[in-house]
Structure 1
Amino acid sequence: MGQPTLFCLATICVALLLSSKASGRGSGNDSLLYHHLFDNYDVELRPVAENTDILMVEMGVALTHIIDMHEKHQTLTASLWLTMGWNDTHLQWSPEEFGNFKTITVPSPKVWMPDIVLYQNVDPYFDGWSHRETYVKIHDNGYVLWEVPAVIVSSCHLDVSNFPFDTQACQLKFGPWIHSGFELVMRAMAENGSLEGFIQHPEWRVLYFKATANMIWYGEDFNIGTPYADVTFTLGLQRKSTFYVFNLLLPCLLLTFIMAVTFFLPINSGERLSFGVSLLLSMVVFQLVITEVLPESDKLPWIGRYVIITMILMSFSLAMTIFVMHVCDCTVSVEPLPKWVREVMLKRLAKVMLMGDLSKNLRTIETDDSSSKIELVNDISDLTDTLYANNSSVHCGLQKDVKLTDWYAFQTKMTSTLHDIERKVNDVLDIMRHHQRHRAYEKEWRSLAKVLDRIFLIMYILVAGACLVSFASNTSNEPG
């Protein structure tokens, strides 16, 4: 009984010893694998089997946040997750020899890194991503996966012709800076960039995020033409126009409408001119606000063009208001309207403007004045003729009491007095006719001013409406 017991105890001890050795060997497999990979690894050399081999680098970009789109500087600031992968022939192993380890994570400075940069980078403090203390994951087949978060500042050509209903396309071109297309080529990991973790921006809406691989020749101007590979991610953005519609476009339209309403104010009202000047100054303020937002470019946006055209229309309306007030204010010297003006403006155009025939007033007044003058003069002449016709009868009835010489003197004095009265009455009638004609001419000029004011109102409405329709049609035809 003792010998079997001792034999069992010895067997158990040997088994425990072997298991402890096996477990110790397994815990050191990662260290052994690390030394196996990097003891003779040269981080400076391109990881290919032959010097003529071309290394393939895969590129993927995930957009997480649009930090800023600066129209004035035409730059895009965004937060990205960059993913790159390539095959390193010097970092391969058999998992069975190292405890079935299929991946290992090491600091990025320990392995060769491609010199991938953003070609449109405008960040003065950018020094590359390969210098950062990040980690890479190495697979047993030599595939190296590198993931790094980054905040990029990229130049982006902005076309603000249809602001605030514009769409923009910003290109993010990633490629090697030193290695040419004979040494390194690039390929996108997917047809589109990732928007899975994207945080919605209050001003911009992402339409697409496409990825394309390119091979472009550079340096031909210096006689050193060399192809360079890159992966270009095109980010399509559409501006959310609600903020600008309510804060820029709608007030502009309201001011344009109010300027049209000023034509209904009395022509000779001084407040009409001052109110128009106030509206023009308001449009100048809107123009300054838009200028601060938009980049300095020769392509003026439609809203800027509309504001400028509206300012021109307002200036034109103010000038026409001054002209109409000058036409209406004719108190110093009044001349009759030319016949063609009366015929064209007061008769035909007034009917077209639904104002009726305004040329009838002066003809009625002139006819009434002429007829009243003829009747008064005839009455005075008839009275004088009657007095002379009844001279003999009066003489016969008064010859007993009055001497003939006294009667002739009385008759002569009476006749002279009647002629003086006739002249005085004619003078009064001439003054009255002059004032009536003056008032009639003034009324004609005021009627002409009303017709001109109505014409300018219709012109203002038509031009402003045409500009608005053209603005709306161009924004609706904008692609995207």
Structure 2
Amino acid sequence: MSTMSTGTFVGLLAICAVAQCQLFDALYTYVLGKAAGTTIPMTSSNQPVNVSIGMSLIHLTSLNSKSGDAELEVWMNFGWTDTRLSWDPTTFNDTTVIRLPASRIWNPDVLLFKGHTSSPETLTQVDNRGGVMYMPPTTLKTWCYVGNYTSDGSVTCRLKYGSWAYDVSVLNVVESSNEVDLSNYDSDGTEWELTEQKVERKVTHYACCSYTDVVFSLTFKEKGRRNSVWNIFD
């Protein structure tokens, strides 16, 4: 693990005093000097790193009722604790929150299992205790279940997120809420209406170990579609 000695830190503050460093310069250098890159912040062999995950639905860009191909715009919300990123606020102008590039600190390998995601790199929010919140705007491309479309005009998208490499003894994925956040959802420009949504955490057991995941389920119904078995003749 990379560390910064007391002498080096005092010297940094002295340099900043002479060079008139910006408000956060010393703090950023101090925190990133301890970040330890891609090493998982596990402090005990019997205490996994808890990673909370949530989703804010922004827009359903497209949905094909025959193939199930779908594209959605969402804001993902990941939260975890990395005590290596902590600091004493009294030493740094009583600063309790900073923003750091996600690429400069450890990130959980929590991925969408079915489909593809793309998002620009955004800043993480880090508090002085090492709590990290990462909320990247994300484009999801996935495949949804269309088996109910013929009968009731609905399509269900199940978006499963979990760790790709770590079992639950090392990384534990938990839901931050039992609902998808819809406060910023924009349904304009789409022929689909969101009728149901839920969030579930699941544990899958294997012979070697167990893995956790969080599934976001979104059910869309074609606007104006009638709930009738006679739809099969439409």
Fold shared by both chains (TM-score > 0.5): yes
Trace 1:397-436 onto structure 2 (pairs within 5 A).
none
Trace 1:248-263 onto structure 2 (pairs within 5 A).
none
Indicate the residue corresponding to 2:113 in structure 1.
119
Distance 1:225 1:155, change over 3 A: farther
Indicate the residue corresponding to 2:177 in structure 1.
190
Indicate the residue corresponding to 1:239 in structure 2.
222
Tell me the percent identity: 21
> How much has 1:79 moved relative to structure 2?
0.6
Higher relative contact order (CA 8 A, sep 6+): 2
CA contact (8 A) 2:163 2:212 kept: yes
Indicate the residue corresponding to 1:76 in structure 2.
70
- Counterparts of 1:40 and 1:169, CA distance in 2: 44
More helix by share: 1
User: Runs of 5+ in structure 1 lacking a partner?
Assistant: 1-20, 245-300, 308-480
> How much has 1:53 moved relative to structure 2?
2.3
2:61 is the alignment partner of 1:67: yes
CA contact (8 A) 1:162 1:302 kept: no
Trace 1:375-414 onto structure 2 (pairs within 5 A).
none
- One-letter identity of the residue aligned with 1:152: L
- Counterparts of 1:49 and 1:159, CA distance in 2: 46
2:139 is the alignment partner of 1:156: no
Structure 2 residue matching 1:32: 3-state secondary structure: helix
- Counterparts of 2:66 and 2:221, CA distance in 1: 17
Larger Rg belongs to: 1
Indicate the residue corresponding to 1:47 in structure 2.
41
- One-letter identity of the residue aligned with 2:198: K
Structure 1 residue matching 2:85: 3-state secondary structure: coil
More strand by share: 2
| Aligned with 2:163 (options 156, 164, 176) | 176
- One-letter identity of the residue aligned with 1:184: L
CA contact (8 A) 2:66 2:146 kept: no
Structure 2 residue matching 1:90: 3-state secondary structure: helix
- Counterparts of 1:186 and 1:41, CA distance in 2: 22
- Counterparts of 1:93 and 1:179, CA distance in 2: 28
- Counterparts of 2:175 and 2:93, CA distance in 1: 34
> How much has 1:28 moved relative to structure 2?
4.8
2:213 is the alignment partner of 1:230: yes
- Counterparts of 1:153 and 1:88, CA distance in 2: 30
CA contact (8 A) 2:109 2:164 kept: yes
- Counterparts of 1:208 and 1:196, CA distance in 2: 15
- Counterparts of 2:220 and 2:174, CA distance in 1: 24
Trace 1:338-353 onto structure 2 (pairs within 5 A).
none
Structure 2 residue matching 1:197: 3-state secondary structure: coil
- Counterparts of 2:84 and 2:139, CA distance in 1: 32
Normalising by structure 1, we get a TM-score of 0.42
Count of equivalent residues: 218
User: Runs of 5+ in structure 2 lacking a partner?
Assistant: 1-13
CA RMSD for the aligned pairs? Answer: 2.7
Trace 1:82-97 onto structure 2 (pairs within 5 A).
82-97=76-91
CA contact (8 A) 2:34 2:84 kept: no
CA contact (8 A) 2:153 2:222 kept: yes
> How much has 1:162 moved relative to structure 2?
3.9
Structure 2 residue matching 1:76: 3-state secondary structure: strand
CA contact (8 A) 1:161 1:302 kept: no
